[in-house]
Structure 1
């Protein structure tokens, strides 16, 4: 009962903080970090409150990765595969190596495996934090798409390194770089196959389910099932969930308007509650870490400050080098292409839920029963990196965007959204004209329908009851059914065109989703 009360309290606090963030104009992930730290100081909470480490990753990562991956598309990944490889793989490896070396030098007696685990823990920026913080600022969607793509796949790289390092630290074995490489490639390939297979199976089952609630419930279960199935066979659960989300989104039907609206609301709620729980739990764990550190806390915080500088410095140097190489390229999807973009991408390396989940999942003891080496300091350093990389950008990003003038580029993306709207309109009008000719509807039917609806309202209110009025009612109903059918067909064509545009290379999925949501709302209102 005590555990249940704490979890409910954390979720309620998350909802309240989101409202506070909206009122103050502050990003809610940054407020969640402050809340997580405050939770550690709440008197009366159990000292030994802890969620089993083995449950942390399967509980937190699948729903959040799935929700974030639904906002992008295969076309984006095809266009940005070089950038993703450099950021999600190479930069994670470089950051993990730099942090591991720094920790090995700074922390007396720390094992290399434990240092590598710390490096993997703080290496991956978080796509959820990027969307929630940067998405509220007038940053070009092209840059946000780069950050999201990086965040979706860098977790897989970091997780492979982290799990191997923790396993070696627990068992006392040594790390093998060759073994890590083979494990990553094999795990990624297996995860892609699992993600595609589950997506195909899910589409088959969804095709036989007619209830919107049941279909939404299935999609809620799928990320967890896919993640666990992949991890069970030694594949990457992270990649499997991302592939599942991308494939299901790519196969979306134009006429699933009500389902899309339902699932969008569902996943927004899931993201909020899971994020709130994660940051609240790290606060509870942080109190135990601070208590265990005792008199060593100032020294540990000094080490954490150095690691934070290394994390930020490595990303800054990487983005500067990438700008130097890419500024003369003709690839429209490449980033950063300007010095302003390099500064912005460097500042947006927000750590988040992956770092939280990995920190909480560190085992308390090794296979021999001894305490995990330097666990308290490792968790403290990881939380410090999260606070620095999330709070500072979260509260300063709007001012930085204005200072750099990057928000001027957002106008080009509004034009891109306008182009999608025009495509949808052309498809709708073409279908509407076809339906008008097939059903032999006159041009002035709209005006006549409005007049007859006015008469219909009078009839329904009991003001007229003549045979002539009843005949008019029948005529209006027939005309309305034809108009409704024609409008439904036109809206279906518009949705199909938007979904086709979403799959094309160079089209921003976020812009397409905004247009699609408006069409879905209009369709539901029509129904």
Structure 2
């Protein structure tokens, strides 16, 4: 596992897992297994068979490596497009789960194939043993790093230091697992899920806001850099095609057809099987509910960062010093698949979603939001009642606090307010917005005045920044 692919993989995987939970993975184990594990094996086998037959001199091990690196769809690309077109949440969840687990499966297959191509030998029992060992080591490393991270976070206390630590965590888990012959991707996934389940402090408002903003920025930057590498590599890729470019384009188009076709041919029976296995007890399992959603899932199978990283990680030479067989052809075909799926499918997916009229279930989301609003308001009222038993308040203060408890829910979901009180609440909300607007103007004037003091002679910048930071926090309230 020495020269592993992607320096961009750890933070991207970690950021993606932030949007999900272990419960979601457990609930969707069947669709994720059918898509992430089974489909990757089927795609790898199909691509390997076709590539081995059409590319002259390409050994089966190198063909399997090509199949493994183009097999996993990119969850970052798919969910980015899905978010912009308003796909149902269940489809987004399946795409995210598929993207995370198919990376794990594909990378292990890739390593087995590369090892066989480099050494010239292959053993099925040894490959299966490597797969099991890789998974066990990765989970153990992920859990150990997760436990250690929680201990360190408790020691650090400061939100800035804690968020900084979370940037190191995915890299440490990834590299350590790889050094111990485990799956770095699975280790990052394990540690991210572990931390998501065990570091959820409801009162850590600053840490949560800081962490979410930080990881949104990291996600955007790393994704941009990773996809930027595609453009930078195109020059060298086209350079390798000198003399037989048209023939290589033909190979690339053939593999694109295999990758896209196999996904559709697999998804149709897999979705049917998932529906047949689905029972009333599986209330949290998220599966496509119509042929339209299945078609959208098929077209959302764009290749991206993982495929780029794996293609660029192919070694230059085998153990006996010979050039890696078919390396230039593999890289060219891989980039053809990435560009065809990412550009063509990525640009046409919003049109397909609109044409098929696949939309998010806003009624279900609204109902859940309403339910959470009612629960939040009840929890606030119950806590107020507990405080009342040990403390006394003037009548006007108590009335104001009771109204504030009710407003917590009403602000989350105005729909929870009954018809009679809705108009009164709307008036109160209007007054509140007006007061907020004036307060924002006042705080803005205060910030401008304090900031201007920074350039005045004799002014201590540290004191000015401390006062400005206080005003900033007040402005966020």
- State the TM-score bracket (shorter-chain normalisation): 0.7 to 0.9
Pairing of 1:264-275 with structure 2 (within 5 A): 264-275=212-223
Aligned to 2:38: 90
In the alignment, the residues of structure 2 paired with residue 179 and residue 429 of structure 1 have an alpha-carbon distance, to the nearest angstrom, of 61
In the alignment, the residues of structure 1 paired with residue 395 and residue 93 of structure 2 have an alpha-carbon distance, to the nearest angstrom, of 44
Identify the match of residue 359 of structure 1 among 306, 311, 328. 311
Q: Secondary structure at the match of 1:54?
A: coil
Q: Is contact 2:163-2:210 (8 Å) kept? A: yes
Pairing of 1:38-77 with structure 2 (within 5 A): 54=3, 56-57=5-6, 59-77=7-25
Aligned to 1:230: 177
How much has 1:55 moved relative to structure 2?
Answer: 6.3
In the alignment, the residues of structure 1 paired with residue 125 and residue 77 of structure 2 have an alpha-carbon distance, to the nearest angstrom, of 32
TM-score, length-normalised on structure 2? 0.80
TM-score, length-normalised on structure 1? 0.73
In the alignment, the residues of structure 1 paired with residue 339 and residue 263 of structure 2 have an alpha-carbon distance, to the nearest angstrom, of 16
Please tell me whether residue 307 in structure 1 is matched to residue 255 in structure 2: yes
How much has 1:416 moved relative to structure 2?
Answer: 2.4
Identify the match of residue 347 of structure 1 among 278, 299, 303. 299
1:212-251 deviation line (CA, Å, top 9, x unaligned): 1111111110100011111111111111111111111111
Aligned to 2:50: 102
Aligned to 2:201: 253
How much has 1:444 moved relative to structure 2?
Answer: 1.6
Aligned to 2:156: 209
1:418–1:393 Cα change, 3 Å? farther
In the alignment, the residues of structure 2 paired with residue 114 and residue 391 of structure 1 have an alpha-carbon distance, to the nearest angstrom, of 26
CA RMSD between the two structures = 2.6
Aligned to 1:38: none
Please tell me whether residue 401 in structure 1 is matched to residue 401 in structure 2: no
Q: Secondary structure at the match of 1:135?
A: helix
Q: Is contact 1:116-1:162 (8 Å) kept? A: yes
1:419-443 deviation line (CA, Å, top 9, x unaligned): 2333223222322333344332234
How much has 1:525 moved relative to structure 2?
Answer: 6.2
How much has 1:334 moved relative to structure 2?
Answer: 4.5
How much has 1:299 moved relative to structure 2?
Answer: 0.7
Aligned to 1:153: 101
Identify the match of residue 342 of structure 2 among 374, 378, 390. 390
Please tell me whether residue 381 in structure 1 is matched to residue 381 in structure 2: no
1:36-91 deviation line (CA, Å, top 9, x unaligned): xxxxxxxxxxxxxxxxx93642x111111111011110101111111221111111
Q: Secondary structure at the match of 2:242?
A: helix
1:317–1:446 Cα change, 3 Å? same
Please tell me whether residue 124 in structure 1 is matched to residue 72 in structure 2: yes
Identify the match of residue 296 of structure 1 among 240, 244, 247. 244
Please tell me whether residue 173 in structure 1 is matched to residue 90 in structure 2: no
Aligned to 2:369: 417
**Number of equivalenced pairs:** 408
Please tell me whether residue 278 in structure 1 is matched to residue 231 in structure 2: no
Aligned to 2:426: none
In the alignment, the residues of structure 1 paired with residue 70 and residue 369 of structure 2 have an alpha-carbon distance, to the nearest angstrom, of 36
Unaligned runs of 5+ in 2: 413-472
Identify the match of residue 144 of structure 2 among 181, 191, 197. 197
Please tell me whether residue 112 in structure 1 is matched to residue 60 in structure 2: yes
1:276-317 deviation line (CA, Å, top 9, x unaligned): 222222322221121121021111111111111111111101
